[in-house]
Amino acid sequence: MESWRKNYLTVWVALFTTSMGLMAFLPTLTVYVGERYGITDPIELTFWGSIVYGAAPLAAAVFGPLWGALGDRVGKKAMAVRANLAICVTTAFMPFAPSAVVLLLLRMLQGALAGYVAPAMALVAQDAPPSRQGRTIASLQTAMAIGSGIGPLVGSEVTLLYGRHAVLWFTSVATGIAGLLLLRFASETQAPSRARGESFGAQFGRSCRDLLGNRLFLALLGVILVLRLGQNMLEPFVALVVRDLGAPSWIEAACESRQQAIERTVGAAFTVLAVAQVLFTPLWGRASDRLGPLRCLAWLALSLGAVLVATWMSAGIGEFLSLRSVAACFMAGSMTLAYAAVSRRVQPERRTFAFSLVQSCMQFGFALGPWFGGFVARIGATAERANLHLPFLVAGLLCVASGLLMIVLRRIWSAALPPVAADAPAQPL
């Protein structure tokens, strides 16, 4: 088997397993915080839920570029294995956290030591044919989408059988298995850059100058961050919105209690995202190779913004789930298109670092989005409940703004900075 295909299959399974494990507990993390530490005040719960939820991606965003540069130096496989095993160990300790503050610190440690997506994708992209970059990255995103879709369903069933704390142990086992798979079956086909005899500090500084000194590349990171802020500021509150709106009748009919119906509706609210990703991520990958990733990303952002504004005006659980399903069709392509745009514009020896910068922008959005969403939810809140609908309007406006900025950026980039790949002249931007 070709080396890149073997790595592709190994990374595909590892990303699926890790995503399934993480999404088993993330959708109900805010609910877990409230139940575990007796937080009943809605304003206090949205505060603790948002900062605990966002602590890991914030730490990952800060430390991600360091791990990415280290991956270019010592090897992508080593960084991917390290990240999965770090998630495994830190998650195993979370059920023993005696307070929300300790849980917050564990989430920060988890994020600081993680960063598994960038090295795993770079491990595959290092040898994938340039004409298949978009489709290959889209397929890996599909693996994550399938895992993310199964994860909430598994998490809800584990919760009903063994309690919420058991979901964290399930996550630990799943991510540990993913790390062992990478250790055993993945291979590094390109020699790490440490063979050049350059110190890590010098290499890291040169990588920063080459990429962050490029204003257009920096602008691309900025618009990706704005898009991810809009996309991720809602996720910690989905479970709370479902709890307020109730379960749809077709789920209630198949459940024995209201709690069971709510748990499964929360799982369904996140599963529809993953199902749409499985169906639409390959389409976005092919559109990227044919039409250009920036163009596709701009129209994705504009369309997603319109759907989120419509969700702000929704009133019932059926309408909410329907609009969330439509939004998922556009969310499915955001990460794929961002990686494809970057992969086409950087040299192979900088790819892990460049991917880690993109991942950091996404993680900043994943971390700061919930915090910003928690702040917005306090506007117009009452003593009994937070304003859980207003964040959808603000998120939609952020997505629209990012889409307009991408259109401008693409036009500037097309004129000023052609792609660096060997076959780039024949590929659209």
For residue 195, being part of any structural domain is answered with no
For residue 77, being part of any structural domain is answered with yes
* Cβ neighbours around 299 below 10 Å, total: 16
Q: How many domains are contained in the chain?
A: 1
Amino acid code (one letter) for 151: G
Residues of the chain with pLDDT under 50: 1, 195, 417-426
pTM of the model: 0.67
Helix ranges, 292-384 (H): 293-312, 317-331, 334-343, 351-377
Sequence-separated (6 or more) residues with CB below 8 Å from residue 369: 54, 228, 229, 230, 231, 232, 233, 234, 235, 395
The whole-number pLDDT of residue 276 equals 81
Range of the domain at 298: 3-184+203-416
The whole-number pLDDT of residue 282 equals 83
For residue 196, being part of any structural domain is answered with no
> What CATH number has the domain bearing residue 258?
1.20.1250.20
**For residues 93 and 89, what is the distance between their CA atoms, to the nearest angstrom?**
7
Amino acid code (one letter) for 205: G
The whole-number pLDDT of residue 96 equals 94
The whole-number pLDDT of residue 424 equals 42
The whole-number pLDDT of residue 149 equals 76
In tens, the pLDDT along 288-323 reads: 878 888 889 999 999 999 999 988 887 788 888 888
Burial of 62 (0-12, 13-18, 19+ CB in 10 A): middle
The whole-number pLDDT of residue 19 equals 92
For residue 424, being part of any structural domain is answered with no
Three-class DSSP category at 413: helix
For residue 428, being part of any structural domain is answered with no
The whole-number pLDDT of residue 208 equals 75
